[in-house]
Amino acid sequence: MTEPHQETPEELDRQNARPVDQAAPTGQSHAEPNPSPVRGEEVLLEVDHVTLRFGGVVALNDVSFSLRKGEIFGLIGPNGAGKTTCFNAMTGVYRPTEGAIRFQGESIVGKKKHEITRGGIARTFQNVRLFPEMTALENVMVGADAHHKTSVISALFRLPRFWREEKSGRERSLELLRFVGIAHRAGDVSRNLSYGEQRRLEIARALATNPTLLCLDEPAAGFNPAEKEELLQLIRRIRDTGVTVLLIEHDMRLVMGVTDRIVVLEFGKKIAEGTPAEVRDNPAVIAAYLGVPTDAA
Ligand SMILES: Nc1ncnc2c1ncn2[C@@H]1O[C@H](COP(=O)(O)OP(=O)(O)OP(=O)(O)O)[C@@H](O)[C@H]1O
C-alpha cells in the first residue's frame, strides 16, 4: 500500500474546529435557478475509482465522478466525509493510494502542485492563506507570476521583457481585484483587510493563475447572509468567464442555489450524485445529514 505523500505541515493542520452552517437540505433556495450559459458536455476532470488511505483511515473509498467544462460543481458531505482530501488529491497535495485523476484527459497523479497549477487548476483553502505583510495587489501578482516566462537572468538585469511582464501582471492583477470587488484596497497590506475582503483576495489570487478549473474550499465559511449572496453572484460571474468551478461548501442554501450538479460524500464514499433537486430529495443524503440510517429516513 502506498502512503499518500504530504507536502506541507499546514496541509496536515487538521480542521480548526469551527461551527459550520450544516443544516439538513431544506428544499429552499434564496437564489433563482442557475442558468449555466456556458455548460457543455465535455469532461474536464475525472476522478476515477480513487481510494486514499491515511494509515488505517480510508478518507476516500473508491470514489468516481467527473466535472464537465463550464459547470459549477458542488462537493458536499458531513464533517470528515473526505471533501478536502479529494481536493488535495486533485491539486497534488496527496497522491491517491489507488485510482486515477485525469484533467483534460491527462493523468495528474504524481504531478507537483505547481505543475498542476500551471496546467490550469487553481484553488483556495479553508483557512485564509495570504502573505499578510504584502499588499492586496502584490498578493495577486504572486499568482500572476506563476505564468510569467521571464527568466531569473532577465529579472536580475531588468531586461525589457521583465518590465513588460511586470506591467502586464500589475494591470491584470488590478483588473482581478476590480472583478472581485476590492480594487479600492489594492495598496493596503492584506492583514489589514476585513475577513470578507481577504477571502475575495484569495479568489483573485487563484484567478491570476488563469485557471481552467477553480476549486473553492468552503469560501462562505464565516460569511453573513449578505456576503453569501455576493459570493454566489461572484461564483456565477467567474463561471460566466468560462472557468469551471468546483465548490466545497457546508452552506446548503448556497450550494443548492449556485451549483449545476453535486456529488455527496459520506465516510469517504460517494452516496449520491445529481442536480441540486435530485440530491436534496435523495433519502441517503437526508439520512447522512440528519445522522440516521438510510432505511430509517
Ligand atoms: N493528513 C491526514 N492524516 C490522517 N487523517 C486524515 C488526514 N487528512 C484527513 N484525514 C482524515 O480523513 C477523513 C476525511 O477528512 P477530510 O478533511 O477530507 O473531510 P472533509 O469532508 O473535508 O471534512 P470537513 O467538512 O470537516 O472539512 C477524516 O476522517 C480525517 O480525519
pLDDT for the residue numbered 127 = 75
- Indicate the burial class of 200 (C-beta count within 10 angstroms; 0-12, 13-18, 19 or more): buried
pLDDT for the residue numbered 170 = 87
Helices 195-207 and 136-145: crossing angle in degrees, nearest 10, is: 20
> Which residues lie closer than 8 Å to 28 by C-beta, 6 or more apart?
253
How many of the other CB atoms lie within 10 Å of CB of 292?
Answer: 11
d(CA 213, CA 121) in angstroms, rounded, equals: 5
How many of the other CB atoms lie within 10 Å of CB of 138?
Answer: 18
Expressed in angstroms and rounded, the spacing between residue 37 Cα and the centre of ligand 1 is 34
Query: Would the CB of 57 count as within 6 Å of ligand 1?
Result: yes
pLDDT for the residue numbered 39 = 56
Query: Would the CB of 23 count as within 6 Å of ligand 1?
Result: no
Residues 179 and 237 sit within 8 Å (Cβ to Cβ): yes
C-alpha 79, offset from chain centre? 17
pLDDT for the residue numbered 169 = 81
Q: Which domains are delineated in the chain?
A: 40-120+211-290 (3.40.50.300), 132-209 (no CATH)
List per-block mean pLDDT (blocks of 10 residues) for the chain, which spans 297 residues. 42 33 35 47 94 95 96 94 94 93 94 90 84 91 63 56 65 93 96 94 94 95 92 96 95 93 96 95 88 52
Query: Would the CB of 92 count as within 6 Å of ligand 1?
Result: no
Atom number of ligand 1 nearest to Cα 6: 1
pLDDT for the residue numbered 126 = 76
d(CA 199, CA 196) in angstroms, rounded, equals: 5
Of residues 249, 288, 250, the one with CA closest to residue 268 = 288
Contacts of 269-277 with C-beta under 8 Å, sequence gap 24+, read 269/61, 269/62, 269/63, 270/63, 270/64, 270/65, 271/77, 273/65, 276/29, 276/74
Query: Would the CB of 4 count as within 6 Å of ligand 1?
Result: no
pLDDT for the residue numbered 20 = 29
